[in-house]
Each structure stands twice: as C-alpha cells, then as structure tokens.
Structure 1
Amino acid sequence: MLKRQPLVVEVLRGPAVESVHNVMVAVVNELGQLLHGWGNPSFGTFPRSSIKMLQALPLVESGAADKFGLDDKMIALACASHRGEKEHLTVLSQWAEKVGITESQLMCGPHLPYNESAAHELIRRNQKPTPFCNNCAGKHAGLITTCLHLGEDPHGYETYEHVAQKRLRNVFTETMKVDHSKVPHGVDGCGIPTYSVPLQAIAAGMSVFVNSKAPAHRVRACQRITKAVVGNPFYIAGSDDFATAVIEKTHGRAIIKGGAEGVFAGFLPDKKMAFAVKAADGAGRAAQLATAQILLQLGGMTVEEAKSLSKFTMPVINNWKGEPVGKLRIAKDQ
C-alpha cells in the first residue's frame, strides 16, 4: 500500500483545526524492500537519534562489550536518548569505571536532564549538568569503549575523519544500502556527524534487526542489542517517554526510537518489518502520533495497548490550569 498523500495530523482547539502537520512514512520488509508508504518515502532527511541501535553495532560486533563486561543496561544506554534520571547516571558511572573512561572524554556536551524531576533536583542542589546528563552520553561512551578495545586513540572520535566515524559510515552504508561517504552530512546536537538519506533508507537500516539473512556476526549483534533494549526499556529513554512505554507495553513486539526534528524509526520482530517516520515540519508531536497509528495499522500494537497508552496515542491539549482544551488526531481518510 503506497499513498502519495502523507499522513495528516490535525491539531484541534475546541472544534476547530488550528494546525496541520504532514508526516511521511516508509515501511519495509526484512530485506529493506518498500512495502508501504505515505507521502514521499524518498524524502531526504537526517535520522538523528532514531538510529542509535545501529550506532551501537560496532560496540557489540567488535567484541568491546564482551571484553569490558558490559551488561544489558549499558548496551541499552548505548542505544538511548536517556532522560538523565538517577538510574541512568549511575549505570553510566559504572560503565565508565569498568572501561577506565573519564566523563570529560565525552564530547557530547552537558544539558539539563530531560526528566523534569531530575532537572529540578539538580537545580535545587545548585549543581550544573555534566556530560553524563546528555541524552547521548551512552552512545558516546560506546564509541570511546570501542576505540579503546581496538587500540585506537579515542581523541577526536566525534570528528568526521576519525576512524570511529568511518566505522559508523561503513555500518550505515551496509545496512541502509546508501554510500554514506557520498551523502550530505551535518553535525548532530551531540557533536558527531549525521547524514541526510532517503526515509526508506532509514527504514532499511532498521530492518537489519529483523533480517535473519544478514551475516551471522551481525545477526548475533542485532539479537544481543534487541534483547538488551527489550529487557531494559527504561534505559532506552526513561520515565514518561513514548519509546519506553511502547516497548514495555508491547513486551518488545514493537521497538521504536525517536529522534530530533520529528523522526521515529523502529521494527516489529514478529512481523519482520521496519519503518521510519518523518514530520515534514519537524514536529515531534505529529511524528509520535503518526508512529502510534503505524504501529496499530501494522499490528505492532493492539487497540487495547494503544488505549492504555492514551497519553501518547490520543494526546490532548491542556491549558495552564490543566484543563483539556483540544486534541491531536489523524485526519480522516488516512
């Protein structure tokens, strides 16, 4: 099923439509072949944090995770956009101690925790955020850990020419079937390169996690990463997060990961399908609702599960007193 029209997300205030978001979707099979699409599956965009599970592949495939005895929580954090909660920071500290990493080696930069309570606690204590508070800290720890295991100098690991980034480009090229040495690139929020590729290519990249015909070493790595994420969904994001909630509620039948500027990607292990979602205007609220709709349509989430996650799947708009004054919905005839 391919539709030229995107999924349309309407934002209502009272009975009237106040805003409209257009969302493009690509759904592929285990070989990365397009099955379904809404809008333009060839739309070029940056996947941002939606492909962190792909970025964790070298950590496992190289043997670094085994050498340093990283547990599943640490592997999940390597794939995470964590919310800076106490448990996240504790596991990051344990990881750094295992490997011999100092926090100052992480080039992701500090920001306040995404979790509001954790941010307020930091402010109450008159403490400044550190690199571990950055939602991408696990990814950066994974890059450094892999370098150390392979005997490489991790200094400058965040730069385009460093061997760590060349290794990631090779992984992306293999899984997305697009030569990442020839595509436009920019700098992600955490400081490492990010690459503009067709939406379908992002979905194809994620299909490696359901592709039993991939090389044996990659299948093993994908299975280990998937097991870590499904077993520890809190560490892929955190409290009050859509990705964590979906993985928990579906018991891993749907695995999703969001990225900045209205991107989601994920896969359905039982259905042998993967997908990528992009809101044309970068609206995360629209991408989230469209992702919920896709999960329902593909059978990755039941109606009952969606209802239990109504905060995310049937979002309302409240005024400052907490009173509902509007809602988001998928436009009819989608």
Structure 2
Amino acid sequence: MALRQPLVVEVLRGPVVESLHQVMIVVTNEIGSVTNYWGNPQFLTMPRSAIKMLQALPLIESGAADKYELEDKHIALACSSHRGEKDHLAALSQWMEKVQIKEGAYVCAPHMPYDEASASDFTRRGQKPSVLCNNCAGKHSAIITTCLHLGEDPTGYEKYEHNAQKRLRKVLTETMKIDHSKVPHGVDGCGIPTYAVPLQSMATGMSALINPKETPARKAAAERLLRAVKNFPFYLSGSDNFATAVIEKSQGRAIVKGGAEGVFCGVLPEKRLAFAVKACDGASRAAQAATASLLLQLGGLNEAEFKSLAKHTLPSVTNWNGDVVGQIRIAKGR
C-alpha cells in the first residue's frame, strides 16, 4: 500500500504556526478492509488504552459478566480510562463487592484522580487514593473477574505467561488478524503487556466490534460492549472529556476511546466503519483534533454537533488568565 502524506495539525499562537504535528489515520469497513488512510497504514505503534473494548471481550464471552450480574456501567468501566470521580469509584467498589475481589489483588498502582475536582477533594480531606483511582482499574477488574470465573488464580495476572494474558493475546490476534505471540511487546502504564502492531491492524481489530461475520458469541459480546458504552459514556472516561462528549452528543453514532501517546480508536456502527489514529510525536492534542476532524468527515458528528463540541473539536490555545491566544486546527488543504 503506497504511503500518503499524514494529516497535519497546526498549533497557532496569534497568527503564527508555532508547532506542527503529523498524524497517521487508517479507516476500515466492517470486515476490516481499508477504505481510506493518511500516512503509513503499517506505522508500528502500541495502542495503549485505545483498544480496551477489545480487551474487555473475554469478560463477556467467558460468561463472567453474567455470573456476577455486572451492570452496563460496570461493562463500560471495563473499557474505560476513568477519571476517578465519585461515581466511578462507587461503581468499582460495587463491582469488587459483587465478585469479592480484594484490593491487594490489583497490580495497577494507586494515583490521584485525573479529574481535578476529585483530586482536590482528596487533598482537602487528606485522603490517599486507593487502587480504584487508577484509571485502568476497570480493565484490571475485568481481568481478575474473568480469572475467578474460570477457576484460575489471578495472582500474577500481569505476567506475559499467565492465562489471563494468553487469553488477551488470543482475542487481540483474532480481532486484529496479527499473531500477538510474535509481535514486540512492552509494559503498559498499568503494568500489563502492551503490543506493537501496525495502525491498520488496530483499525481492523476495532472493526470486529461491528463485523456481521463474527461468530454469534463474539457478535453478542461486541453488541453488549457497544451498548454499555453508548448508554453509559460517563463511565468510559468522565465529565468534560472528549470521548464522553462525542458519544453523548452523537447518541452513540460515534464511539471513540483514547490511549496514551496520542492514540485514538473507534467505530461508527451505523456507517459500518472503524478507525485508528496515531499522532507520530505522541501529542494527545493533535490526535484529538485529528479524530474530531475525521468524525466530521465520516459523518460520526454532523456540523451542528461538531460546533457544539467546539471546546473539544476546535480547541483554543489559552494563557494562564484563560484568554484565548491561539488555536489548534487541521492544516488547510488537508
């Protein structure tokens, strides 16, 4: 597949282009075939948290979600990078009680909530964050829950050779159509393995969530995940967040999930399209601007919705007084 120019995101301060970011994008149809792209579809990168919906599939397919009577908000949390708001922590605590998970079972380290108001409240109360404040606690809850349902000891579930990781490699291999036992891997911020794959493979993987040719079990699991995220987008991230805002405003016509180092993945169920986005320099601001522009182009957001989300889709550059001093935009002609 021939290389194309990547999408270019400009950061303006006044009339001057102060910075430029190159962004790679791949769009596929429902069966994973490429329909459009910018840059290099084979660009090798790690999807980080952008593919948590794929990593949550074993929770459903194994029967663990049904056994422990998990609600849709819990399913959404399994796919989340939550911001540590009160309702996030309450739902995760409820999940722990349902499954009888002890806090010591988690390998993801505690950190202060990403939500500023919640973090300030912790500080004001002199309260230390628990492991549930980790933005990946939902994913880890899903992994531990699946282990317990299958009669496995979850101890060491973060290790490459643990059954939990073998299970995740299997589902990622099946959905992305690339053998995850043969690709380079590293350790994600939350402690579990993350795998380097071509951007095209990430988009193909996301297409499995809308692919009518999947097995009945995979289709049912994907539909449940998408329904949960559509109905409970707050639990996918939190208040005042791009992904949550897009899903709410589009009423689920566009479902997006971000990851560290400038990655976004998503699906447009009605359009039968999936996509993966990667800012080459890891800049989240560039990846978000590119994703917003892509959603407008593909019809995931209409013009009115796009403009109503201007804070996220047409972000301004501000100074410490809150004054608008510049703008982030797609370079003209792109």
> Do the aligned partners of residues 232 and 96 (structure 1) sit closer, same or farther apart at CA in structure 2, a change above 3 Å counting?
same
Contact 1:3/1:37 (CA < 8 Å) preserved in 2? no
2:101 is aligned with 1:101: yes
1:126-171 deviations in whole A, cap 9, x for unaligned? 1111110000000000000000000000000011110000000000
- Any idea what SS the aligned residue of 2:183 has? coil
Contact 1:255/1:268 (CA < 8 Å) preserved in 2? yes
In the TM superposition, 1:156-171 aligns within 5 A as 156-171=156-171
Q: Partners of 1:38 and 1:47 in 2: how far apart? A: 17
RMSD (Å), alpha carbons: 1.0
Q: Partners of 2:104 and 2:75 in 1: how far apart? A: 21
In structure 2, the residue matched to 1:64 is 64
1:34-67 deviations in whole A, cap 9, x for unaligned? 1100001110000000000001000000000000
- Any idea what SS the aligned residue of 1:11 has? strand
2:225 is aligned with 1:232: no
Deviation for aligned residue 1:235: 0.2
In structure 2, the residue matched to 1:132 is 132
- Any idea what SS the aligned residue of 2:209 has? helix
2:53 is aligned with 1:53: yes
- Any idea what SS the aligned residue of 2:208 has? helix
Contact 1:30/1:211 (CA < 8 Å) preserved in 2? yes
Q: Partners of 2:65 and 2:2 in 1: how far apart? A: 40
- Any idea what SS the aligned residue of 1:277 has? strand
Q: Partners of 1:263 and 1:225 in 2: how far apart? A: 20
In the TM superposition, 1:73-152 aligns within 5 A as 73-152=73-152
Q: Kindly provide the amino acid, as one letter, of the partner of residue 84 in structure 2.
A: G
1:73-108 deviations in whole A, cap 9, x for unaligned? 000000000000000000000000000001221111
In the TM superposition, 1:287-302 aligns within 5 A as 287-302=287-302
Q: Partners of 2:202 and 2:264 in 1: how far apart? A: 10
- Any idea what SS the aligned residue of 2:20 has? strand
Deviation for aligned residue 1:2: 7.9
Q: Partners of 1:316 and 1:224 in 2: how far apart? A: 36
Q: Kindly provide the amino acid, as one letter, of the partner of residue 188 in structure 2.
A: D
TM-score normalised by the chain length of structure 1: 0.99
In structure 1, the residue matched to 2:40 is 40
Identity of aligned residues (%): 66
Q: Kindly provide the amino acid, as one letter, of the partner of residue 122 in structure 2.
A: L
In structure 1, the residue matched to 2:209 is 209
Unaligned runs of 5+ in 1: none
1:244-287 deviations in whole A, cap 9, x for unaligned? 00000000000000000000000000011100000000000000
Q: Partners of 1:138 and 1:104 in 2: how far apart? A: 15
> Do the aligned partners of residues 2 and 333 (structure 1) sit closer, same or farther apart at CA in structure 2, a change above 3 Å counting?
farther
Q: Kindly provide the amino acid, as one letter, of the partner of residue 277 in structure 1.
A: V
Q: Partners of 1:87 and 1:201 in 2: how far apart? A: 34
- Any idea what SS the aligned residue of 1:191 has? coil
User: Which ranges of 4 or more aligned residues in structure 1 deviate by more than 2 Å?
Assistant: none
TM-score normalised by the chain length of structure 2: 0.99
